[in-house]
Amino acid sequence: MTKQERIAAFAKLGEWLTHPDTETTEKTAQFHHKNPWYTADNVLRQMNAIGHQLTPEKLNAWIQDYTAQDSDKTVGLVLAGNLPLVGFHDILSCLIMGFRVQVKLSSDDAGLTPFVISQLIRICPSFKDKIQEVDKLTNYDLVIATGSNNSARYFEYYFGKKPHIIRKNRNAVAVLTGQETPQELTALGSDIFDYFGLGCRSVSKLYIPKNYPIANFFEAIEQFSPIREHFKYNNNYDYNKSIYLINKDKHYDNGFLLLKEDNTLSSPLAVVFYEEYNNTDQLIAAIEGQKDNIQCVVCQQDLQISPPLFRLGRSQHPALNDYADGVNTLDFLAQHQ
């Protein structure tokens, strides 16, 4: 396949993702039976977000600096499953650059990724020989593996002798100044609650100025209260609330989200940590000190920081060149083509 044929195929896939037919919509409602976190709303939300990036204009601009010649090399992909289609960008990157892929799916995938891949193959049958779903990677030339900090140590051991990208845990953080409008604070709710807060772009930590009125934040996110109707989310909320009450830990509670002061980044599910700051210099120092654990920062103001900056409500809508962990996947692939 030529570079342009691949672009055309993914552009058609993008149309399908953003405008699913009735059969597809009904199918998305079934994935939650295998993974309760994969609700129909979250699956369709992710499909729509990905589909809006798969336009001819965006795809061409993304790979215009790469030859993307057809290659016989195989990239082994170890995908996460914490949210729907979380590994799609890796599949897209490898295929559009002309590589073959061996895909090791997470047990949490619920069949969603193969469902989308099957649609891509229907659009362009030539991809059938480029994609192999496997239980174990074999005869691969490069590796891209995503997992926890713990699994990353095993990935380094097993895959370290091959060219590789190995990703670990990261989180998103939000910076509030006290000048945000109610609408902007509501938008922040999407950064926190979309995909139940399970993604590496989900906000798990707030940086707030001294004496910030927490009630303003809670009032603005009230529309996300139906999340407590999801039994697994609510179980986590109840559990963490009980722990804080038993330990007499100071925290804020609005009935579906807990706020707790903590210097660390990664909060439990249904909890967001917060940390107060006195001035911008202190804030930037705090962020830079944790930059290797931060996927992105959401804020309405421009900050001179290393991690990628998004506006409130946009953390879950990365562009094609918003690479996970700041590692340019296309550059990595081009170096080994």
Output the pLDDT for position 125: 97
**Tens-digit pLDDT profile for residues 295-305:** 999 999 999 99
Is 152 a residue whose pLDDT tops 90?
no
| Residue type present at position 50 | I
- pLDDT reported for residue 149: 86
Residue 198: name the closest of 226, 170, 166, 221 by CA.
170
Q: Do domains 3-168 and 171-310 have the same CATH topology?
A: no
pLDDT at residue 153 greater than cutoff 90: no
Q: Which two three-digit tokens encode residue 263?
A: 């210097």
24: amino acid identity, one letter: T
Query: Which value, in Å, is the radius of gyration of the alpha carbons in the chain?
Result: 21
Q: Which sequence spans correspond to the domains of the chain?
A: 3-168, 171-310
Dihedral class, residue 127 (left if φ above 0, else alpha if ψ from -120 to 50, else beta): alpha
Distance CA 71, CA 38 (A): 34
Q: What is the mean pLDDT of residues 241-263?
A: 98
Per-residue confidence at 150, pLDDT binned at 50, 70, 90? confident
For the record, the structure tokens of 122 come out as 């229907």
The helix/strand/coil state of 79 is coil
DSSP 8-state symbol, 321: T
What CATH superfamily classification does 3-168 receive?
A: Aldehyde Dehydrogenase; Chain A, domain 1 (3.40.605.10)
Q: At what angle do helices 112-123 and 3-18 cross, to 10 degrees?
A: 130
Q: Supply 83's token pair.
A: 């949210």
- Chain segment 16-30, per-residue pLDDT in tens: 999 999 999 999 989
Q: Which fold has domain 171-310?
A: Aldehyde Dehydrogenase; Chain A, domain 2 (3.40.309)
pLDDT tens per residue across span 192-243: 999 999 999 999 999 999 999 999 999 999 999 999 999 999 999 999 999 9
pLDDT band at 32 (very low <50, low <70, confident <90, very high): very high
H/E element holding 297?
strand 294-298
Confidence category of residue 282, pLDDT binned at 50, 70, 90? very high
Residue 37 to residue 195: CA distance in whole angstroms: 7
- What would the pLDDT profile of 38-82 be if each residue is shown by its tens digit? 999 999 999 999 999 999 999 999 999 999 999 999 999 999 999
Q: What is the pTM of this model?
A: 0.95
Q: What is the DSSP letter of 267?
A: P
pLDDT averaged over every residue in the chain: 96
User: What confidence score (pLDDT) does residue 274 get?
Assistant: 98
